[in-house]
């Protein structure tokens, strides 16, 4: 055992699990591509101020969870805790706001939050996310949710719950913040230190509280839904109607406010009962002020991020099986047939696009067949002395146990046609 261990809260992803991750990501790329999303890759490091400004000073992420450190010149840098603010920054810095809108971007990659590690919660975790910039219409909210729904269905999910809410536009939130502050102020002494501070800075954040005493107090608080402007109400109604039309099931959850400050109007989470305490699989919503907050023009946006670690934790077995990457062919030299010939046959087959393992270890035939089974190979190509003399090989189909002789020159084509239809 090495004395070097991975850093607490980080994980090594090893095969065969990495094949499952790759298959999930390939599905995301394909499905998001159907909706016109293109990949964006932003740095893992950003100036700290980016997150303070957008995610918000009074959030847990900025207040407690960021990996922030000075670089050698004393500038404050942060390992990105989320990727919406970096994408908005890159959008502006790349001048994409002056091209055709909307711009549709997706990303796959690690994020960092200094949280207490537990099942489904890591300090380096991974997100698959999508952001649509430059369209304020509720129909783009609906289309984004349809894309997410399609992706999750393609992975085989059926039992997930979509929680949907609106936090309203800026005017709705201003009115609501006042009402909430008015309600909580007389109970200020009963609030914890965090919430007491938030009462002044950002009372909406208090709705996130996990503290049982505060939750009880919040049960009697005024509802955000009663402070929505007509425009915010109409936006949300259209999103709900569109989802109803397309048969996407959701539950309106009027306490859902999300833990980041940049949200406006539609917000959502997707939760899984199979996940335990950390049950949020996806979080997202609209952020119509974010680009302007970064000093750009007012470009509305909406997006989501899927927690990939959690997604894979509860991935349906059917998808997992399909993702298992198995070679289709094992080539085995028998008796005095040299390993070099097996390697040569292997190269010919790979040239024809087949995934091949070559048995060069000189194992007994029985052991080699066991290995083929373990690898999940479909075919074993046996190079016996007699067949090799006749320029032929014996092919064993592990699916039905049948065995036949095939001329070596025809082998690649013979296997390739049968593997495609397998
Ligand atoms: P978020 O809700 O903070 O939103 O994170 C999205 C998802 O990332 C969560 O639902 C969860 O699955 C996963 N996640 C978060 N923290 C951890 C952790 N410590 N360990 C494992 N998984 C975790 C955002 O990050 C927003 N940027 C989403 C968004 C995109 N909104 C608009 N566009």
Per-residue pLDDT reduced to its tens digit, 179-214: 999 999 999 999 999 999 999 989 999 988 889 999
User: Which ligand 1 atom is the nearest neighbour of the CA of 287?
Assistant: 32
Q: Please, which pLDDT band fits residue 1 given cuts at 50, 70 and 90?
A: low
97, burial (CB in 10 Å: exposed 0-12, middle 13-18, buried 19+):
middle
**Protein residue whose Cα sits closest to atom 5 of ligand 1:** 283
306 CA distance to ligand 1 middle (Å): 6
Ligand 1 pocket, residue 280 CB under 6 Å: yes
Is the shortest distance between the CB of 106 and ligand 1 below 6 Å? no
Cβ of 107 closer than 6 Å to ligand 1, yes or no, is no
**Given a cut of 70, is residue 274 above it in pLDDT?**
yes
Q: Which residues contact 285 (CB under 8 A, 6 or more apart)?
A: 167, 258, 263, 264, 265, 266, 267, 268, 302, 303, 304
Which among 64, 82, 263 is the best mutation to test ligand 1's pocket, defined by most ligand atoms within 8 Å of the CB?
82
Summarize pLDDT for 326-355 with one digit per residue, the tens. Answer: 779 999 999 999 999 999 999 999 999 999
Token pair listed for 164:
């949907």
Question: For residue 49, how far is the Cα from the chain centroid?
Answer: 25
Alpha-carbon span 346 to 329, nearest angstrom: 9
Let me know if 220 is exposed, middle or buried by CB neighbors in 10 A (0-12, 13-18, 19+): exposed
DSSP 3-state percent helix, strand, coil across the chain (nearest 5): 45, 20, 35
For the Cβ of 281 lying below 6 angstroms from any atom of ligand 1, the answer is: yes
pLDDT of residue 421: 53
Tokens representing 142 are 């609906």
The pLDDT of residue 323: 85
Q: Is the pLDDT of residue 116 over 70?
A: yes
Q: Is 131 in the pocket of ligand 1 (CB under 6 A)?
A: yes
* Count of all residues that appear for the chain in the document: 422
Cβ neighbors of 8 (< 8 A, separation 6 or more) are 117, 123
Verify whether ligand 1 is closer than 6 Å to residue 173 (CB atom): no
Summary mean pLDDT of the chain: 94
Q: Is the pLDDT of residue 366 over 80?
A: yes
Please tell me the distance between residue 104's alpha carbon and the centre of ligand 1 in angstroms: 19
Ligand 1: centre distance to CA 390 (Å): 62
Contact of 125 with 57, CB cutoff 8 Å: no
Q: Which residue's CA is the nearest one to ligand 1's atom 12? A: 307
Check if 305 has its Cβ closer than 6 Å to any atom of ligand 1.
yes
The answer on pLDDT for 284 being more than 70 is: yes
- State the pairing for strand pair 251-252/161-166: parallel
At 385-420, the pLDDT tens digits run 999 999 999 999 999 999 999 999 999 999 988 876
Q: How far is the CA of 320 from the centre of ligand 1 (A)?
A: 23
Give the pTM: 0.92
Tell me the C-alpha distance between 168 and 159, whole Å. Answer: 28
What is the average per-residue pLDDT within 273-298? 95
Q: Cis omega (within 30 of 0) on the bond before 102?
A: yes
In this structure, what token pair is assigned to residue 54?
């957008």
- Give the closest residue (by CA) to ligand 1 atom 7: 307
147-148-151-152 Cα dihedral, nearest 10 degrees: -150
The closest alpha carbon to 172, from 228, 224, 222, belongs to 228
| pLDDT (mean) for 224-241 | 97
Q: How far apart are CA 46 and CA 68, in angstroms?
A: 10
Task: Please tell me whether the peptide bond between 318 and the residue prior to it is cis, using omega within 30 degrees of 0.
Answer: no
A 10 A CB-CB count for 319 gives: 17
Ligand 1 centroid distance, CA of 283 (Å): 6
Q: Mutation test of ligand 1: which of 79, 90, 122, 125 has the most ligand atoms closer than 8 Å to its C-beta?
A: 125
256 close to ligand 1 (CB < 6 Angstrom): no
- Distance from Cα 82 to the centre of ligand 1, integer Å: 7
Tell me the backbone φ, ψ of residue 313, rounded to 5 degrees: -55, -40
Distance 305 CA to ligand 1 centre (A): 6
> How far, in Å, is the centroid of ligand 1 from the Cα of 154?
21
Query: In this structure, what token pair is assigned to residue 343?
Result: 């390697």
Query: How far is it, in rounded angstroms, from Cα 327 to Cα 165?
Result: 47
Tell me if 304 CB under 6 Å of ligand 1.
Answer: yes
pLDDT at 411: 96
Report the percentage of the chain scoring pLDDT > 70: 99
- Protein residue with least CA distance to atom 1, ligand 1: 283
Pair 239, 142: CB distance under 8 Å: yes
Q: Could you tell which of 67, 261, 283 is best to mutate to test the pocket of ligand 1, judged by most ligand atoms within 8 Å of the CB?
A: 283
192: Cβ contacts below 8 Å, ≥ 6 apart: 209, 211, 214
How many angstroms is it from 148 CA to the middle of ligand 1?
15
Shortest-distance Cα residue to atom 15 of ligand 1: 307
Distance 190 CA to ligand 1 centre (A): 30
Specify which residues 394 forms β-bridges with.
Answer: 382, 405
- Grouping H, G, I as helix, E, B as strand and the rest as coil, residue 110 is strand
Q: Would you say residue 260 has pLDDT above 60?
A: yes
Instruction: Say if CB 323 and CB 19 are below 8 A apart.
Output: yes
């Amino acid at each position: 055992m090495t004395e070097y261990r991975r850093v607490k809260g980080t994980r090594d992803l090893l095969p065969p699990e990495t094949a499952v991750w790759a298959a999930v990501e390939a599905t995301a790329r394909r499905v998001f591509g159907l909706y016109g999303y293109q990949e964006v890759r932003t740095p893992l490091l950003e100036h700290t101020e980016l997150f303070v400004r957008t995610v918000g000073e009074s959030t847990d992420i900025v207040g407690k969870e960021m990996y922030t450190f000075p670089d050698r010149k004393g500038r404050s840098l942060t390992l990105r805790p989320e990727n919406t603010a970096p994408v908005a920054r890159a959008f502006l810095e790349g001048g994409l706001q002056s091209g055709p809108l909307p711009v549709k971007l997706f990303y796959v990659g690690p994020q960092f939050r200094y949280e207490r590690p537990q099942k489904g919660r890591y300090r380096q975790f991974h997100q698959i996310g999508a952001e649509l910039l430059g369209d304020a219409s509720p129909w783009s909210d609906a289309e984004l949710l349809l894309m997410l729904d399609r992706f999750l269905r393609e992975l085989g999910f059926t039992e997930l719950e979509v929680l949907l809410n609106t936090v309203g536009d800026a005017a709705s939130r201003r009115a609501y913040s006042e009402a909430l502050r008015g309600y909580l102020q007389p109970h200020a002494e009963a609030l914890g230190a965090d919430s007491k501070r938030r009462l002044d800075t950002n009372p909406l954040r208090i709705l996130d509280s996990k503290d049982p005493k505060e939750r009880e107090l919040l049960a009697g608080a005024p509802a955000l839904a009663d402070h929505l402007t007509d425009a915010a109400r109409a936006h949300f109604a259209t999103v709900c109607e569109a989802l109803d039309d397309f048969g996407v099931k959701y539950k309106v959850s009027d306490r859902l406010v999300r833990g980041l400050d940049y949200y406006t109007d539609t917000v959502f989470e997707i939760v899984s009962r199979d996940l335990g305490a950390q049950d949020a699989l996806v979080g997202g919503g609209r952020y119509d002020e974010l680009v302007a907050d970064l000093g750009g023009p007012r470009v509305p946006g909406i997006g989501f991020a899927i927690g990939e670690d959690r997604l894979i934790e509860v991935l349906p077995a059917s998808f997992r099986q399909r993702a298992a990457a198995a070679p289709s062919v094992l080539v085995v030299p028998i008796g005095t047939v040299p390993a070099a010939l097996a390697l040569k046959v292997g190269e010919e087959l790979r040239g024809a696009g087949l995934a091949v393992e070559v048995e060069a270890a000189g194992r007994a035939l029985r052991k080699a067949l066991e290995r083929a089974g373990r690898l999940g190979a479909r075919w074993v190509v046996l190079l016996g002395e007699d067949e090799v003399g006749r320029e032929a090989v014996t092919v064993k189909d592990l699916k039905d146990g049948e065995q036949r002789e095939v001329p070596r020159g025809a082998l690649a084509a013979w296997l390739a046609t049968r593997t495609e239809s397998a």
